């Protein structure tokens, strides 16, 4: 008989080791019992559904710019700044219009490897909710800036509302499609293993570009007729179905 004795401080460590071994054994046994073949046994079917809706564009994005030339970069910058400031002042009467300036650059123009003059430009982008008569603001800034392009789209609030409705509709169609597949395969039961909802594609804005005669429109001319059209919103759901024979 081994009469070897161990220090008292080792006894708690020994007991803790036995407890950890017991818990590990129970965990392994539980995992083995959970891995039932019935969970993955059957026919896997990958499928998808898409719900779409055409929505009237309710937002217009207009782009204007000012191009200037001069004997010095300071002269070019001064002309651009004065015209841009005048255009922005003309828009103060329309607080609902979102304005943004961008693409400001001034560069030298060379002739026979010598700077002959300077050229610069700056763009002004307006985002406008489509309301009757609001497009007439085009004539307010035409004396200062040249019209470049027009693009139609859907406002964030309308898009959020429509996408929520489309998602609800897509989920219902997805569940019905899963049931339909199971019925056609004559499965005794089915389980949806995976589902992915994709609504990040949103929509494709519709660009419209200026014609040369429109770019020359003066302040005393009538605003152009605009047909904003529609954009398509989509929600696609993909998933994996497990059919049990």
Q: What are phi and psi of 226, to 5 degrees?
A: -130, 130
Structure-token pair, residue 66: 């000012």
Q: H or E segment at 183?
A: helix 156-184
Task: Note whether residue 72 is domain-resident.
Answer: yes
| Tokens describing residue 148 | 């470049």
Calculate mean pLDDT across residues 194-198.
94
- CATH number of 82's domain: 3.30.70.360
- Residue 44 in this model has a pLDDT that exceeds 50: yes
Residue 38 pLDDT grade (very low, low, confident, very high; cuts 50, 70, 90) = low
What pLDDT sits at residue 39?
Answer: 55
CATH number for the domain spanning 194: value is 3.30.1660
225 domain-assigned: no
Q: From 146, 185, 167, 140, select the one nearest 65 (Cα to Cα).
A: 146
18 has a pLDDT exceeding 70: no
Are the C-beta atoms of 165 and 116 separated by less than 8 Å?
no
- Quick one: pLDDT band at residue 168, thresholds 50, 70, 90? very high
List all residues 6 or more positions away from 196 whose beta carbon is below 8 Å from its beta carbon.
Answer: 237, 238, 239
- Tell whether 176 and 137 lie within a shared domain: no
Q: Which stretch of DSSP H or E encloses residue 141?
A: helix 138-141
Residue bearing the bigger pLDDT, 220 or 64 = 64
Q: What is the DSSP letter of 6?
A: -
Token pair 């539980």: residue: 30
Q: Do 191 and 116 share a domain, yes or no?
A: no
Region 90-104 average pLDDT: 90
Provide the percentage of residues in the chain whose pLDDT is more than 90: 54
The answer to whether residue 140 is domain-embedded is yes
Sole residue written with tokens 């001069």: 70
What is the pTM (predicted TM-score) of this model? Answer: 0.62
Task: Provide the H-helix boundaries in 6-128.
Answer: 11-34, 73-90
Determine which helix (DSSP H) or strand (DSSP E) holds 193, and give its type and residue range.
strand 189-198
H or E, element range at 167: helix 156-184
For residue 4, is it within any domain? Answer: no
132/126: higher pLDDT: 126
Q: CA 130 → CA 87, 210, 226, distances in Å?
A: 20, 19, 10
The band of 219, judged by pLDDT with boundaries at 50, 70 and 90, is: very low
Average pLDDT of the chain to the nearest whole number = 80
Contact 146, 64 (CB under 8 A): yes
Q: What percent of the chain has pLDDT above 70?
A: 70
The residue that leads in pLDDT, 88 or 26, is 88
What tokens were used for 51?
């719900």
Question: Residue 73: which domain range?
Answer: 59-153
Q: What are the residues facing 243 on neighbouring strands?
A: 43, 190
């Amino acid at each position: 008989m081994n009469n070897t004795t161990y220090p008292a401080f080792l006894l708690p460590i020994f007991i803790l080791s036995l407890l950890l071994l017991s818990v590990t054994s129970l965990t392994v046994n539980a995992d083995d019992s959970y891995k039932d073949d019935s969970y993955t046994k059957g026919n896997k079917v990958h499928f998808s559904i898409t719900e779409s809706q055409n929505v009237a564009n309710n937002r217009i994005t207009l782009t204007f710019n000012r191009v200037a030339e001069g004997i010095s970069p300071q002269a070019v910058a001064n002309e651009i700044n004065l015209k841009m400031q005048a255009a922005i002042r003309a828009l103060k009467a329309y607080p609902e219009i979102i304005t943004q300036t961008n693409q400001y650059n001034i560069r030298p123009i060379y002739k026979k490897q010598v700077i002959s003059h300077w050229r610069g430009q700056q763009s002004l982008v307006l985002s406008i909710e489509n309301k009757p008569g609001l497009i007439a603001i085009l004539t307010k800034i035409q004396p200062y800036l040249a019209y470049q392009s027009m693009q139609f789209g859907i406002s964030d609030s309308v898009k959020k509302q429509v996408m929520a409705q489309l998602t609800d509709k897509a989920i219902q169609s997805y569940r019905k499609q899963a049931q339909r597949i199971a019925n056609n395969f004559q499965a005794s039961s089915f389980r949806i293993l995976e589902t992915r909802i994709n609504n990040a594609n949103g929509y494709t804005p519709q660009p419209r570009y200026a014609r040369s005669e429109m770019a020359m429109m003066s302040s005393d001319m009538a605003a152009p007729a605009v047909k904003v059209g529609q954009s398509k919103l989509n929600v696609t759901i993909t998933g994996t179905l497990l059919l049990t024979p």
